[in-house]
Amino acid sequence: MTGNSGRYAGNPFSPLAVAITTDAVSEDPTIPTAAVSTAQDLLGEYLAAPTLAGAGNVLAVSGEHGTGKTHLGMRLVRVARAADPPANAMYLDVASDHFTGLYSRFIKRLGREGVRARVNDFYADVVADSLASGPTVDIAALVRERKIDPNKVVGGYQMMESALLRQVTERLVEELRSITDNQIYGTALTLLLRPGYDDAVWDWLNGSAPHAALVERGITNRIDDEVSALDAMGVFALLHGRKGRRFVLVVDEIDKILTGRTIEASVSKALQRLLQVFQQTGAFLVLSGLPEFRRALDDDVTERVGVTIQMPRLTPEDVAAFIDQAQRNEADLPTVEFQFPAVERMVRLVNGNPRQIIKLCHALYRTAVEQDRAVDTVMVEEEVEGQSDNATADEVGAAVRDLLDRANVPYAHGHYFGTRDSRADFWIETGPDSGFAILVVDSVFTGTVDELVTRLTAVREARATVEVVLVVANILDPDAAAELSTHLVDPPVRYDRRSFTRTLQPTLRSLATRFAGLGGTDSLAAIREWMVRIDMDNATTHQMVERLGREMDRRDEDTAAQLTTLRERVNIVNLASSVTDRDAEHTERRFPAPAAELFQEALETLDRLAHPDALFDDVFGRTEDSSDHYRRVTQLLNRVATPGVYEAAGTMSLLRRWIVSFSTATASWYVAEGWEAREPGPARSRFDALCRTYERVAETMPLGRIAPLVRLVAEGETDSRRLADRAVQERVTEFTDQFRALGARVRGTVLAELSPP
């Protein structure tokens, strides 16, 4: 069997399982789980409500990574836009750790003309009221219904514009009083209607310091902190929800802002006001993120959340329906049989995680087509075990070792108790003849249970009292876990780069509690003290990480080394302009800013990951011959000599070149034949091929190899191994997700720009 068409290079399933965040490309099939049905029903009730009074709603969507939160969010946006009449619907993904970053994305998405249009609504009402008597009554009605431009009416009837604008300011101030008593928004938004002031106002709305013309009118504060950013979002939510207009806003990955820090009371109050505005103005807000974001909200904010939807794990029936729908949507491709036992096996092995299931379906479909066979359980197990981005046992061992080092717990690594089967990866003595062992294994299937039980028994029989913690690096077959349950007190710990520390802590705490009766050991006391210390200091540590990250970003922007990166970004934005200048016939074909921003964000994330220039500049920038300087140089040299650093530096350089080359190719294609791709045809096929090439690159790049360089920079900046380990995990995961999703996001964004308004 062969096949060369379809959205995913002859495959009905996405290779990366990244939700499509544009309407220009048809979405993947939506599985009608109870969570999806509930969310769609709530939105349907909102869209069908005869009046917006009391119809406002705040919906929380909670779920682990890869459970379909983004897909559901975009599904709601599409439904809202397809309503009759269409709702103003917007999707925002959080790209920073504070509300100012979210506001920045929000105001840019609204756009200058969008904001001006909402302010012009006030102006039209004021003009209509002034014409609402005498022979101009009919004209007033046309203005109020937006069938006539109020500016033309004002000029035609020689009305006093300055007086009308003062009334606009007064109405804006009064309307916005529920959000803020500060009159600057009324003043600034009115100025947006006056020629010569719009640039100054738009800069101020985007967080810049107010221009002199604004300062003269009492606008002296910036929108540059979280409280002012949340209040500003409330202002525009109110403006967009007037006159019966339905406004739907989906904020995805909100956990990036709310978790890992202590939310100040003023920020919490501002968030509470924002949610209240959405409810009172009849808007529909969706907050989506990891489960912990709900726990980060205080009670007053939680009260404003109407319904919380938990994204479920998929069942075999769900997956079978999805596979059938995906293949029917691509009827020109070969149809592959997914045997139901294979579907059941797949669901069990990845615990029903939608993202992992879709990625597996992509790989299984490709293999089945190449080998001209059905997908069976053997193929599923082989593919699951062979996933290229799995963690290694060495990586997991390093994570465990770091946890124990931070706890100052003495342990033996790779400890044998006298027999070949009695190896404990980590052994912690809690008494003369007692302790607990941590065993790290790659994957656990039913066929490996007997061998593992033999090892568990040998370790447990080596001392009078032994407890065992089993850490699984990759696949933990639920059937195998059930067989092991009689040999383990605590269930096996499944390794996840994002949450391993959080997952292992309760297990270690449970062990320490059970051993407490034995007493008298430094190891046990150290573990108990460490648990208390982590519980007390967790929020403070996360705050340090965030402050450090922001400080690093600010400092990087001021260094001369950043010039090269800036030039690359400028080239990305201006490439289309430089090309079109040579062809006046196509000067309107400018590379779309939203697509350029995707490339910029990828490069910026790469810089945040590992920008070692400052470390080396610090070495050669100091001329003193001091013992402290000698120590710093020696430490840096030792770190650079760490295995993998040079390989990581080469990988980072290659990653940058792939991003820049992809951006250049995309912009060149857009200028040359982008307009011809508004409909399916050769031009769009060439763009699809370009994006598929990038996806192939993303799948094969060894992104895990950049970790040593990320660690080098993090340790050098903070002089703290504890902070570095946290930063390494978070930064590498962030960039991996972004790099692999870039092709799909660029394709969707560019096609959205080409779609007719």
Residues 502 and 647 in one domain: no
Q: Kindly indicate the confidence band of residue 453, based on its pLDDT and cuts at 50, 70 and 90.
A: very high
Q: 319-366 pLDDT, tens per residue?
A: 999 999 999 988 888 999 999 999 999 998 888 888 889 889 988 998
Sorting pLDDT into bands at 50, 70 and 90, what band is 539? very low
- Sheet with 424-431, strands from edge to edge, namely 412-415, 424-431, 434-441, 465-472, 493-494
> Which pTM was predicted?
0.60
User: Which residue matches tokens 């089945």?
Assistant: 368
CA distance 189 to 186: 5
Q: Which two tokens stand for residue 718?
A: 């903070």
Per-residue pLDDT reduced to its tens digit, 620-678: 655 555 566 666 666 666 556 555 777 777 888 888 888 888 988 888 888 888 878 77
pLDDT score of 51 = 82
The H or E element containing residue 466 is strand 465-472
Q: Per-residue pLDDT for 388 more than 60? A: no
For residue 41, give the CATH number of its domain.
3.40.50.300
Two tokens, residue 341: 């036992």
Query: Judging by DSSP bridges, how do beta strands 424-431 and 465-472 pair with one another?
Result: unpaired
- Token output for 30: 């939506």
Q: Do 64 and 123 lie in a common domain? A: no
Tell me, what's the pLDDT at 45? Answer: 93
Distances (CA, A) of 206 to 94, 108, 200, 202, 356: 17, 8, 10, 6, 38
43, 172: one domain: no
Residues 651 and 733 in one domain: yes
Both 458 and 577 in one domain: the answer is no
Asked whether residue 598 falls in the same domain as residue 743, the answer is: yes
Tens of pLDDT, residues 422-442: 889 999 887 778 888 999 998
Q: Could you read off the pLDDT of 709-757 as tens digits, one per residue? A: 777 766 655 444 444 455 566 667 777 777 888 888 888 888 877 776 5
Q: Which amino acid is at 168?
A: V
What is the structure's pLDDT at 621?
54
For the chain, counts of helices (H) and of strands (E):
32, 10
> Do 681 and 740 share a domain, yes or no?
yes
Q: Is the dihedral of CA 707, 712, 716, 722 positive or negative?
A: positive
- Residue 473 near residue 495 (C-beta atoms within 8 A): yes
In a domain, 22, yes or no: no
- For 91-142, the DSSP string reads EEE--SSSHHHHHHHHHHHH-HHHHHHHHHHHHHHHHHHHTSSGGGHHHHHH
Residues 612 and 746 in one domain: yes
In a domain, 576, yes or no: yes
Does residue 254 lie within any of the structural domains? Answer: yes
User: Strands (DSSP E) along 480-594, which ranges?
Assistant: 493-494
Within a domain: 202: yes
Per-residue pLDDT, 18: 54
Token pair, residue 29, equals 């099939």
Residue partners of 218: CB distance under 8 A and separation at least 6:
183, 184, 187
Let me know if 279 is exposed, middle or buried by CB neighbors in 10 A (0-12, 13-18, 19+): middle
Asked which of 282, 310, 338 is the last residue of a domain, the reply is 310
Q: Which of 310, 342, 359 marks a domain boundary? A: 310
Phi then psi dihedrals of residue 495, to 5 deg: -75, 130
**CA-closest candidate to residue 98, choices 228, 271, 257:** 257
Please report the pLDDT score of residue 339 as a whole number. 96
CA 597 to chain centre: 15
SS (H, E, C) 368-407: HHHHCCCECHHHHHHHHHCCCCCCCHHHHHHHHHHHHHHC
Token pair for residue 234?
């409330």
pLDDT one-digit tens code per residue, 79-114: 999 998 899 899 998 877 789 989 998 998 888 888
Lowest-confidence segment of 45-49, 372-376, 673-677 by average pLDDT: 673-677
114-118, 539-543, 605-609: which is most confident: 114-118
Residues 78 and 119 in one domain: no
- What per-residue confidence (pLDDT) applies to 715? 61
Tell me, yes or no, whether 268 lies in a domain.
yes
Domain count, the chain: 4
> Which helix (H) or strand (E) covers residue 89, if one does?
strand 88-93
- Check whether 61 has a pLDDT greater than 90: yes
Q: Read off the CATH number of the domain in which 483 is found.
A: 3.40.91
Q: At what angle do helices 112-130 and 184-191 cross, to 10 degrees?
A: 90
Gap between the Cα atoms of 504 and 653, Å rounded: 35
One domain for residues 250 and 180: no
Asked if the structure places residue 691 within a domain, the reply is yes
Helix/strand/coil (H, E, C) string of 178-229? HCCCCCHHHHHHHHCCCCCCHHHHHHHHCCCCCCHHHHCCCCCCCCCCHHHH
Alpha-carbon span 749 to 731, nearest angstrom: 25
Top pLDDT among 11 and 553 is at 11
Is 344 part of a structural domain of the chain? no
Pair 589, 732 in one domain: yes
Say if residue 736 is in the same domain as residue 597: yes
- Residue pair 493/503 in contact (Cβ under 8 Å)? The answer is yes
What local confidence, expressed as pLDDT, does residue 573 receive? 44
- What domain range is 166 assigned to? 112-226
> 159 and 127 in contact (C-beta within 8 Å)?
yes
- The verdict on residue 351 lying in a domain is no
Size of the chain, expressed as the number of residues it contains: 757
Among residues 512, 540, 568, the one where a domain terminates is: 540
Give the separation between CA 491 and CA 351, rounded to whole angstroms.
Answer: 15
Pair of tokens at residue 105: 């994305």
CA 145/CA 38 separation, integer angstroms: 36
The SS3 call for residue 575 is: helix
| DSSP string across 327-346 | HHHTTTSPP--B-HHHHHHH
